[in-house]
Each structure stands twice: as C-alpha cells, then as structure tokens.
Amino acid sequence: MARSLKGEWIGKTDDSRPPAHVRLRIFDRYHGICHWSKREIRPGDEWDVDHIIALINKGENRESNMAPILRGKPHKEKTARDVAEKSRVYRKRAAHLGLKKPKRKLQGRGFEKRPRQNHASTPVNKWRGF
C-alpha cells in the first residue's frame, strides 16, 4: 500500500508531469479503473494520467484533478471532448461580450421572374439551336 502524504502534489508549471509515486497514488485512489471508459486497467495495458478538468478549460495541474485513463481510444475521445468544450465556451463568451458580430448573408437582387408557359398553344420564346 502506498504511504499517504499530508500534502498534495501540485505541478510547478502546466507542463510538469507527476512523478512515479504520485502516479501510483492516483492509480490506487481509482482502484485501477479508467475514469473515462470505466474499464479495469490490467497489467500490460498502457495508461496515462489525465486531467479531469482539462488545463485548457481552467483545470489545475494538481493531484486531485488527475485520474488514470487508458491510452488510445478513451484518451482521444476525452481530448476531443475537452477541445469541443473549450471551443463552445469561447464562442459563447465572445458572443456575450460582443467581440464577434453575427454573420450576415449578402443578398443579391436575384433573377427576374419569367412568365409561366403552361399552355400548349403558348409560343415558346426559347431558341432551340436547330
């Protein structure tokens, strides 16, 4: 069993990675279960430590904001969701602050209306080319 420390690990920068003993504590706290796919992480599986609230979404680089996640499809899905959330928040915030004006469609004058030719006795005014 990993020894518990009184303090929590906090990264000095957003790029700093947790050391091995912190990764072990995070793994034990989640009982070896991937926090995204809820699948057990077995020996030989490749896994990473992921931020629950992503750094791009104002998450912190600290131990309480990290969880184990399987490498591959689960990690790619989580990253895609985080980027989509960041984009959605940015768009709504920019619209709320008036930084982005709504897109306006340019309207042309259109084409002039032609009279309908729905009778067989009406002469055809179109050149046929023969």
Mean pLDDT, to the nearest integer, of 105-113? 80
- Give domain limits for the chain: 20-97
The predicted pLDDT at position 1 comes to 43
* CA pair distance 62, 58, nearest whole angstrom: 12
Left, alpha or beta for 27 (phi > 0: left; psi -120 to 50: alpha)?
A: alpha
Looking at the chain, the whole-number percentage of residues with pLDDT higher than 70 is 83
Task: Please determine, looking at this structure, whether the domain spanning 20-97 carries the CATH number 2.60.40.
Answer: no
pTM confidence score: 0.67
